[in-house]
Structure 1
Amino acid sequence: MLETVEQQTGASPEWSVIWLHGLGADGHDFAPIVPELVRPHWPAIRFVFPHAPKRPVSINNGLPMRAWYDITSMDFRNRADAAGVAESVAQVEELIAREQERGIPLERILLAGFSQGGAITLSAGLQRRQPLAGLVALSTYLPEVDAAAAQLAAGATAQPVFMAHGSGDPVIPVQVAEHSMQVLKELGFGVEWHRYPMAHQVCAEEIHALGDWLQARFAQP
């Protein structure tokens, strides 16, 4: 089981958000976003921020760092190490199962991720036969996008998706993200897409829009 950083917004959480960080960061990276995101009238939420394992990253001269998969190419069609993606998806599934054991049903578990973490979020979501409450993919893309239809599990498209990206992102060009978004829509996912004048980061407007989207999830019966 991956080590995690956890925050609860109240006693006896009714919802869980599992949030995956980007390359070279760790579970502490997005923990400060919780007070900016959470609204007073929301149900109690457990935020789970796992640490990715350390592994050599090829494009960084094999330097070991926290990464959800190795980056083997600058070409986004085969950029992600497939075995690493599969391993991380399995580790995320363990975290989802633990939240179920803690009493949170799948329909109240959300999976979120930034950059590499968002790539794992979309990969995991695509393969889920039992849908989660939703997927949040920030400044990211879908690995193996051309083979996405072959990975699609029955029931996966019931998961709503929030995607946001910077128009000036130098790490993952916005066109790559938009292509992933279009493929997800063609597969049948309901995607809410946002584009902001920023680089590879998050911004206040994005956090507010995500809050609105999450609020709609919490309002579901």
Structure 2
Amino acid sequence: MASLAYTNAVIFIHGLGDSGRGWSFLERMMPDFPNRKVVYAFPDAPSQPVSCNNGMVMPSWFDIKAIPVNENEPDDPAGIDESIASIHGLIDKVIADNNLKPENVVLGGFSQGGAMSLMAGSTYHAQLGGVVCLSGWLLRKSSNVAAWSGPKASVPLFIGHGDADQVVLTSLGKEAADRIKAERDSSAGSAGVTFKTYAGEGHGACDDELKDLAQFFNEVLK
């Protein structure tokens, strides 16, 4: 008997200095979603010099000036256009390889990857099934926020952040959620923006956050 074709996809983007393998555990730990077969993709960032680490070359989607990432971080960092194009290309490939529609794909990421997921999701040419940002922040704030209204207002968002994060300040995750929610208030047919904080959690993803992520996947994987 032929195996069931994939019905959905999850693409998850790692953070600074990590690799796709660092988040591949999601494929093993996520539950089986009823009547859905999910293919997972965990891309690797290119290696490039990073300012916050004294110019050391490491896997990075774009340059970061300082840690902790705060409200003074540059809005339009070097390398971002190339990484957006790379993620868009991966979405296209996953859709083509598995005969999916864009609404069957969820894009997510952690930290730098969370910032990338909000950026790449808002600029992709079609509406995805959902977008996840864990411990991340907004890039190109004005255009990014504006892009989540209009047609993209129908894309559900999950934004999670530890309330003791000293690498990417929690206030940045809250700002992302608040600004997108406010922008969507005037959009017809807008989907939810879920923002959750996790008590005592630093720059990581605790069990409760991963459970909430699984619940989000269950809701948006169509």
TM over 0.5: yes
Structure 1 unaligned regions, length at least 5: 1-9
- Output the CA distance in 2 between the equivalents of 1:85 and 1:92: 11
- Output the CA distance in 2 between the equivalents of 1:153 and 1:66: 32
2:193 alignment counterpart: 191
**Which SS does the other structure have where 2:42 is aligned?**
strand
Structure 1 residues 53 and 159 mapped into 2: Cα distance closer, same or farther (>3 Å)? Answer: same
**Which SS does the other structure have where 1:182 is aligned?**
helix
1:160 alignment counterpart: 156
- Output the CA distance in 2 between the equivalents of 1:71 and 1:139: 15
Counterpart contact for 1:127–1:153, Cα < 8 Å: no
Counterpart contact for 1:26–1:50, Cα < 8 Å: yes
Aligned pairs for 1:44-123 (under 5 A) are 44-73=37-66, 75-79=70-74, 81-102=76-97, 103-123=99-119
User: Quick one: which amino acid aligns to residue 208 of structure 1?
Assistant: K
Counterpart contact for 2:145–2:180, Cα < 8 Å: no
Among 40, 43, 47, which residue is 2:36 paired with? 43
Consecutive aligned runs of 4 or more in structure 1 exceeding 4 Å deviation: 149-154
State the TM-score, normalized to the length of structure 1: 0.87
- Output the CA distance in 1 between the equivalents of 2:96 and 2:165: 38
1:7 alignment counterpart: none
Counterpart contact for 1:114–1:139, Cα < 8 Å: yes
Aligned pairs for 1:127-146 (under 5 A) are 127-146=123-142
Structure 2 unaligned regions, length at least 5: 185-190
- Alignment RMSD (CA, Å): 2.0
2:187 alignment counterpart: none
- Output the CA distance in 1 between the equivalents of 2:173 and 2:126: 25
1:4 alignment counterpart: none
Aligned residues: 210
State the TM-score, normalized to the length of structure 2: 0.87
Structure 1 residues 111 and 22 mapped into 2: Cα distance closer, same or farther (>3 Å)? Answer: same
